[in-house]
C-alpha cells in the first residue's frame, strides 16, 4: 500500500475510533473507558498497555493472545483471542499470554508412526477423564476431547485431522482437570501424520522437479537481473488462475516458472 493510501486508511480508522461510544471494561480489576468498536487487544492499547508478549500475528493465527473474561451477573467464564474478540460493556478480562504446559522433548527423526510413541512421550494422555472442558474453552472450536480420545485409540490420522485448526493458545491446558498438555499432544500427532502417514502429494513431487530443472534456474536468473519496472510488468502480465478453476488448472504460458 502506498504511504498516502496507508495514511488515508489509518486516518479513517482513527476517525471511527474517535466517533465510537466509550464503554467501561476492567483489566485485571482496573476500570478503563474504551471505544466499543475495538477488539480487546486494541482496547488494551487504547487504555495505555503496551504488548511485549502475548501478541503476535493480530490475525487469529498465532495463538499468543488467549484471554479469559467474565460479564456482569453471568457465572460463565468466557474465553477468546484478544485480537479477534470485540469488547463488551463491563467485561472483566485478563490475558494468559503463556501457560506452562509440559512439552516432551524428542528427536523427531527417531520416532515411528506408532501411537506408542505418543503414549511414551505423553503418558498423561490416559489421565483424561472426558469432562470436555478443553473443547468448551477452545476459541477455534477444535473438538479437543475427541482428539484426545482418538490419540488414546491410536488413531493418529483422526487426531491430526480433527486438530488441524489448533493455534496452540494453551487455553485447553489451563482448564484441564487431568493436567494434559493437549495442544502439544495434538501437535505431535499432526507432525507424525504429516510426515509419516499422509499420502504423498504427486503434484508436489512434480513441482519440486520443475523447481530443480535448468529451465527454472534460467527463468529465475532472468528475473533476478530484471529491474523493478520489468518485474512489475512481468507480474502484471502473468496469467491469473480463474476463481472457479479446477484442481487440474495450469497456466498456458509457463516460461516464467
Footprint of ligand FES (CB under 6 A): 55-58, 60-65, 81-83
Q: Which of 192, 200, 190 is nearest to 167 (CA)?
A: 190
**In angstroms, what is the minimal distance from the CB of 100 to ligand FES?**
19
Would you say 62 or 104 has its CB closer to ligand FES?
62
Would you say 25 or 171 has its CB closer to ligand FES?
171
**In angstroms, what is the minimal distance from the CB of 80 to ligand FES?**
10
* SS3 of the chain: helix, strand, coil, percent, to 5: 45, 10, 45
**In angstroms, what is the minimal distance from the CB of 55 to ligand FES?**
5
Measure CA 127 to chain center.
27
Grid cell listed for 235: 507480474
**In angstroms, what is the minimal distance from the CB of 96 to ligand FES?**
12
Q: Which of 174, 181, 255, 182 is nearest to 220 (CA)?
A: 255
**In angstroms, what is the minimal distance from the CB of 67 to ligand FES?**
9
Would you say 42 or 121 has its CB closer to ligand FES?
42
Q: Which of 83, 41, 80, 79 is nearest to 59 (CA)?
A: 83
Would you say 34 or 81 has its CB closer to ligand FES?
81
Would you say 51 or 256 has its CB closer to ligand FES?
51
Would you say 56 or 178 has its CB closer to ligand FES?
56
The residues with which 25 forms a beta bridge, in sequence order, are: 32, 91
Give the C-alpha separation, 39 to 59, whole Å.
11
Give the C-alpha separation, 227 to 224, whole Å.
8
**In angstroms, what is the minimal distance from the CB of 179 to ligand FES?**
24
In 71-144 the beta strands, taken as DSSP E runs, fall at 78-81, 91-95
Give the C-alpha separation, 156 to 241, whole Å.
35
Amino acid at each position: 500500500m502506498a504511504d498516502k493510501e496507508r495514511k488515508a486508511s489509518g486516518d479513517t480508522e482513527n476517525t471511527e475510533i474517535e466517533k465510537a461510544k466509550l464503554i467501561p471494561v476492567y483489566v485485571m480489576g482496573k476500570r478503563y473507558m474504551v471505544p466499543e468498536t475495538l477488539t480487546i487487544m486494541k482496547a488494551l492499547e487504547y487504555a495505555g498497555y503496551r504488548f511485549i508478549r502475548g501478541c503476535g500475528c493480530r490475525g487469529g493465527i498465532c495463538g499468543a493472545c488467549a484471554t479469559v473474561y467474565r460479564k456482569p451477573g453471568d457465572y460463565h467464564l468466557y474465553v477468546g483471542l484478544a485480537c479477534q474478540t470485540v469488547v463488551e460493556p463491563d467485561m472483566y478480562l485478563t490475558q494468559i499470554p503463556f501457560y506452562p504446559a509440559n512439552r516432551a522433548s524428542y528427536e523427531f527423526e527417531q520416532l515411528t508412526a506408532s501411537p506408542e510413541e505418543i503414549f511414551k512421550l505423553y503418558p498423561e494422555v490416559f489421565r483424561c477423564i472426558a469432562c470436555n472442558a478443553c473443547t468448551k474453552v477452545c476459541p477455534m472450536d477444535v473438538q479437543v476431547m475427541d482428539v484426545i480420545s482418538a490419540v488414546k485409540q491410536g488413531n493418529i490420522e483422526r487426531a491430526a485431522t480433527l486438530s488441524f485448526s489448533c493455534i496452540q493458545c494453551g487455553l485447553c491446558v489451563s482448564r484441564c482437570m487431568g493436567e494434559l498438555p493437549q495442544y502439544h499432544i495434538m501437535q505431535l500427532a499432526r507432525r507424525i501424520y504429516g510426515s509419516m502417514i499422509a499420502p504423498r502429494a504427486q503434484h508436489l513431487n512434480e513441482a519440486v522437479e520443475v523447481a530443480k530443472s535448468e529451465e527454472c534456474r534460467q527463468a529465475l536468473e532472468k528475473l533476478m537481473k530484471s529491474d523493478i519496472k520489468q518485474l512489475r510488468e512481468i507480474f502484471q502480465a502473468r496469467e491469473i488462475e480463474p476463481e472457479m478453476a479446477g484442481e487440474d488448472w495450469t497456466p498456458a504460458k509457463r516460461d516464467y516458472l
